[in-house]
Amino acid sequence: MYLLMVGINCHNAPAGVREKMAREGKDLQEFMTRVNQVDKLAGSIILPTSLGVEIYTSTRELPEAEQNIREFLSERYDLDGSLLKEYVYVYTLNDCIRHLFRVIGGLEGKFADAAQALKQARESYRVACENEAANNVLCTLFEKVVESVEKVLMETGIGNKDQIEDGIEQEMNGFFKWLNSGFVVPTVRALNKKGQEIREKELAKALNRLDSLSGEEKEIVASLAEDLVSKLLNEPVKTLKAVSETGQGHLYTTILRNLFCIKAGPDNPINLNRE
């Protein structure tokens, strides 16, 4: 499942658009109902921000979902495609998560009231949940980001931008480590399981052809097979665990799953890659 955010900027939009956007926050339920009718979206949360209005969604069809949201915004704000390009901004995958951290922390655009930004995020999340608009991916994302920003504001206060920014960066790094570990752990389990299945299958075939071996000799062959599989998988597993501490964990995991034809769901609900 992919994460996608499509926002429309209120600062450089025409006056009529700005006026309508200013009213969006007062009736999130109606806006959310309309957004949920957009095709290719698995869930959505509408977040009015200091920049404008942002639509957070998860989808399995990223290009199609983005285009459908653009068409929805074009119709809602009566903007043709060429004009819409001037006011719309888009973030996907990890960039979407980084942007959400900064928005809720009041750090995007002109330094905003972080407490007010946090309050609006809670309200948007509440409305989405009450209307069953947010799926498990978005719920987990918003809950964890809101919790992280709350922690930062409690530790730093709401008026010190530099301290808030440092705190948000630390919380963001911790979030990505948690996210990457959710890909790495089940992939390592699945890789080891596949290695053992291959070992057992090939060992059984070999021992059937070597039925004259003694019990001790068969144990030696079995031990050799075990060592070969273990040593073959050792380096890929070590590398995968090492990159799980970076922002590239899910990319390495996807490559390894494709190379070894492994199917394994993540241990956390936020999956940035199609399975």
How high is the pLDDT of residue 273?
Answer: 45
Tell me what the mean pLDDT of segment 89-114 comes to.
87
Cβ atoms of residues 232 and 195 within 8 Å: yes
In the predicted structure, residue 234 carries a pLDDT above the cut 80: yes
Report, as an integer, the average pLDDT of 91-104: 93
pLDDT, tens only, 155-210: 987 777 889 999 999 999 889 888 877 777 788 888 899 999 999 999 999 988 88
Q: What is the pLDDT of residues 84-97, one digit of tens each?
A: 888 899 999 889 99
Exposed, middle or buried, 140 (CB in 10 Å: 0-12/13-18/19+)? middle
Tell me the percentage of the chain whose pLDDT exceeds 90: 43
CATH fold of 2-159 reads Beta Polymerase; domain 2 (3.30.460)
Task: Round to whole Å and give the CA distance between 151 and 106.
Answer: 14
Tens digits of residue pLDDT in 15-55? 777 777 777 666 788 888 889 899 999 999 999 988 889 99
Higher pLDDT, 184 or 68: 68
* Residue-level pLDDT at 57: 95
pLDDT at 180: 75
Task: Reply yes or no on whether the pLDDT at 223 is more than 70.
Answer: yes
Q: What is the pLDDT of residue 28?
A: 82
Are the CB atoms for 32 and 138 separated by under 8 Å? no
The residue ranges of every structural domain in the chain are 2-159, 181-260
Query: Considering the entire predicted model, what is its pTM?
Result: 0.75
Instruction: State mean pLDDT over 139-143.
Output: 93
Q: What is the pLDDT of residue 240?
A: 83
Is 10 in contact with 53 (CB distance < 8 Å)?
yes
When pLDDT is averaged across residues 215-239 and rounded to a whole number, the result is 90
Strand blocks (E) in 10-125: 43-48, 52-59, 88-92
